[in-house]
Each structure stands twice: as structure tokens, then as C-alpha cells.
Structure 1
Amino acid sequence: MRALSLPGLLALSCLAHATNYTLWINGRNNPAAIGHYDDFRYWGPATVDAGVNKKAVNWDGYNSIGTQSRHIRDALDCFCTGENWCYIATHSAGDMIVGYTLANYGGSARSVKNAVANADGTCGDVAGAPPQTGWNIKWVRSAGGSAGGSELADAGRWTTGEPLVHEHKVSTARAMYNHNATYNVWFYMYAGSNGTLYSWLLPGQDDEVVAYHSSGAVAGSAGGSYCNPGDWFCRVLSMGAAANEGGWPKWANHSVAFRDDHERYSHYIKGNWGGITGMMLQDIQKLAR
């Protein structure tokens, strides 16, 4: 057998150390410890299969997206640079903070890290590794994504003193960053429609917290009324990346992976990977390997 050259041996060495990670990024009101990548209290039991090498990327779910984005960048630097790649799963405002982070930092120079986290959630540099542009992300999946805002924030249904609530006003959320700037990372959306309590405030179909215009990544500076097929008085939220009924598009690199046609799934996780997150989890278990 022909002996490998030094470059070939180095390439094999790099491949042997390449690792995939699954990052779970929470939404509003997170009880878990920031910087603790094994604390899954926001989601449910940590024993659940939630993708290869799962990590909980915790931020406080209270303060502004701009101030909290550093925790997301720390995790992406730790696990999604060099030879390592990441799958990303988000819930609610997790969709907004990942979108913001990619739009503002996805083209920036990043130091390659060693995936060994300190107590504050940061990792050490890989000696001699040149910086790279952005991160190695296979895709983002978002359950009940609120990057398009929620009319509940506009109506004052949440504590209005929370910075994150202010940013969830529909016009504010949609103007916060360029939702089309994903640096070629695809977002796959999971839209629930088992909304009851606040449905009169939320246009079209909703999961009780966000309407389809947000969880389905409908583009534009304002929300709109989008529904399941067969519903009257609103336009159908299309599957995949196709434009919605009436021709209104989704944001670039966004695709609806699941639409709750039978109105079974709400926004709430309920401490056990529940609601619309449960549908996303099923796909993560199959695909994040």
C-alpha cells in the first residue's frame, strides 16, 4: 500500500477530529445557567435524544437581542469553527437572536476554538489556526419562531418593561436586522396553530404567542393574516420556500418545514420538549447526526 504524504496524514488527522454538534437556543424567560452548555432546564429532561453532541446555548431571554448575542457568538465560536460543524435548533425568540447574530456577524472573522468550554461559556483558541469567515452551520430549525414579532407585544400582553418584549413589537422586530442576510444558512420553520387564549389579537393562524406571519418567516415590514389551506378570510402560508398565497414571499433562505394543518400544537414547551418544539425535535433526532 502506498504511504501517505505528510499533507495527506495531516488531512486525515483533521478529519478524525471533526465533530458535529447540535445547539439548542432558547427563547424568552430562560431559567438555565448562561454559559452552561449542559443545562437543558428551558427544554426538558437532558436525557432526551436531541441530536448529536447536544448543547444548550443559554441566554437570559429577558434583555435585548443586541446585548445577549455575545452568548450565541461564544457558542458558535466554540463548536462551529475549524473542522467542526453545527446543527442549530431554536424556539421562539431564539429564532430572532440567531437571525440577528448571523445578519450582523456571519461575515466577520472568527478565531478557531477548541470546543472545550470555560465556566463562562467561552473556549480556547486552537494554536496556529488561521481565522475563518463566519461559522460552519449546516442549518437552523426554528419552532414557533418570533423573528417577525408578536402582536402580543404591541398590545401590552407581556411586561412592557422587558427589553426583549419591546423588541418583539412587530414593526420593531422586522426592522431590527436584515432578515434576508443569513450568509447562505437555511432556516427551516415549524409553525403551530393551536392558539386559543389570544387568538383575537393575533392575525390568521397562531400558536397562542406568534402568528403564522412570524413562525412562517413571511417577509416584509409588517405582519399579515396567514392560515392553513381551507381557512376563510386569510391567505395560505405555503410550504417550503415558495411564495405564499397572493404572491407575498418569505425571507431569503427560509422554508416552512411543518405547518400545523390540524391545529394540534401550541407555542409552549411545558418543561418536556412539548408543543411545536416536539415536532421540530422529531426531525432533529433523524437529521442532526
Structure 2
Amino acid sequence: MHIGIRRALAGLAIGAGLLAAAAQATNYTLWINGRSNNAQVGNTADFSYWGPATTAAGVNKKAVNWDGYNRISTTNGGIRDALDCYCTGPNWCYVAAHSAGNLQIGYALSLYGTSTRNQKNAVPGSNGQCGNTGGTQTGWNIKWVDVAAGAGGGSELADAGDWALSEPLVSDLKTSSARALYNHNSTAGVTFYMYAGARGTLYSGLLPGQDDEAVAYHSAGGVSGSSGASFCNPSDWFCNDLTLGTAANQGGRTKWSNHSVVFRDDKEAYNHYTNGNWGGVVGLVRTHVVNNAK
């Protein structure tokens, strides 16, 4: 065969191989629930915590269901299994988390985000784990994390015993416990985009500053420190402002590293709850994910 023809055929073969490899790369959107989840653990198609499964919620959406009841340390293995399944090898993930789901993804990235992971085939078995494809990598392929009404800083409702103290998770949701659970500044380089609601009325006496009825701005806004503090909208003259972006808040209190506030509820229009229909602050995250997780 003429050498030019051989080279041309070899080039076509290489090109076909690259196209095949590219075709195997897939993006996924992982949704990590918060407290009190009635969805089936391990069933990535069960979105009953959030709302109708038919609702658009990002490319190749998967529900990373955990029980929303037990402590983060004992349930985080399921989160890591999902990250291994869908966010290794050629595949990449967008992550959306609600409330205590903030603690789950934060815990995973802080403690395991630079660990060696087996690359997986994105086909989970009955145990929620996927098969190995033969390679390894450091950490996971995560483009960014959206956090709706994040409980990464805990809630004073847990401090005051307003939630059932028999729930193991409530111990983690106390403000001092949540902030000490892992190093919130360590995100393996992944940016957390924070969405903070302020339509809080029922528990306003317990939650400092602006709140969404379950978590205050200090938590939903990713404000650093070993304890909570009072942060508000600019229209409130009686406490320091929660600032947008990564900038320090009014009064000098900083946000955790790689945490950026992209939504502050200046009109006090969004509460904490999904109401079975992608409601509250979750609705804002869903819109962002639909428009950007592709």
C-alpha cells in the first residue's frame, strides 16, 4: 500500500478513536438532598424530595438520595459512591445541594476531594456502587457546586432543640458542630455558589439576622468562623450586610474560601422549603442549573 494512503488511513483511525472517546464523555447533574428525605436511598431517579421528576433540572440529572436523618459521617459514603460513579474518568459533574446537603458535599470534598479515586463506569449496582474501568485519579471531576439554603454553618434551631433531638443529624446541624465537622475552606478547588433566602417569619426570634425559616444568612451565605452571627440585607440598618461574591461581609467577617454568594434575598421572597415542587430557594438553583449545567 502506498505510504501516503497508509498515513491517511492511520489518521482516519486516530480521528475515529478520538471521536469515540469524546462520545463516551458525559456530563451529569447531581442533586444532594437535605434533612427529612422520604425518597428511596440509592434510587437516582427518585426526585420526590425535590418535586416532579419530569421537571428539567440539568443535564442527565441524578438524585443522590441519602436518608436525611443520620449523621453526615455515617451517610457520606453514599455521596462519595455517587461522585465516584458519575464524576470520574471522562465524565464531569455539576452538583446542586440543599440545606444539610451542603454539609454532605462539603464533607466529601474537604476530607476526600484530593484522595485517589477509582474511575467508574457510571452504571450503579443495587448497592449504589459502579464498576471500575481500570484507571485511578485524584479527586472528582466537578465543575461547580450550587447550594440552596445551605446548612454548612448549622442552624440555631438545632441549638435550641426545635428539631427532634432523637435525630442523629440534628447533632451535626448545631452551629458549633457543623462548623467544626470539617475544614470548610478546603473544597479541592471547587467553587460553592451560595443562594440565601430571607422569607423567614416563624422562627425569626431564634435565627440571627435574615433567615429563610430554617437557616440564617451566616450559614446560607458561607460566612466563616466557629459560630454563627447576624447578617442582613442592605436595607436593614441594625445588622451587618451579607455581601455578594467572595468579598468580606460588612464588619469584616469573611466567607469561607471558594464560597461565593450569587443570590441574596433582598426582597425577602424565598423560604427554605421545596414544598414538593422545586420551591423556595431551590427554585432559583434549579433555574441556574437548567441554564448552565449542560
8 Å CA contact 1:154–1:169 kept in 2: the answer is yes
State the Cα RMSD in Å: 1.3
Question: 1:107-186 maps to which residues of 2 (within 5 A)?
Answer: 107-126=114-133, 129-186=134-191
Same amino acid, percent of matched pairs: 61
Give CA deviations for 1:141-200 in whole Å, capped at 9, x if unaligned.
000000100000000000112111011110111011000000000000000000000011
* One-letter code aligned to 1:52: V
Q: Which letter maps to 2:186?
A: A
CA deviations 1:93-119 (Å, max 9, x no partner) are 000111001101101111111111112
Instruction: Give SS of 1:131's match.
Output: strand
1-side partners of 2:185 and 2:17: how far apart? 38
**Residues matched between the structures, number:** 287
Q: What secondary structure sits across from 2:227 in the alignment?
A: coil
Give the aligned partner of residue 46 of structure 1: 53
Runs of 4+ in 1 over 4 A off after TM superposition: 5-9
Matches within 5 A, 1:30-69: 30-69=37-76
2:244 maps to 239
Matches within 5 A, 1:1-289: 2-3=8-9, 4=11, 9-126=16-133, 129-289=134-294
Distance 1:24 1:172 in 2: 24
Contact 1:36–1:120 (8 Å) recurs in 2: no
Report the TM-score, using the length of structure 2 for normalisation: 0.95
Gaps of at least 5 residues in structure 2 are: 1-6
Q: CA deviation at 1:125?
A: 1.0
Q: CA deviation at 1:8?
A: 5.3
Shift of 1:219: 0.5
Measured after TM superposition, the shift of residue 82 of structure 1 is 0.2
TM, length-normalised to structure 1: 0.97
Q: How many angstroms apart in 2 are the aligned matches of 1:201 and 1:13? A: 56
**Structure having the higher Rg:** 2
Conserved 8 A contact 2:89-2:135: no
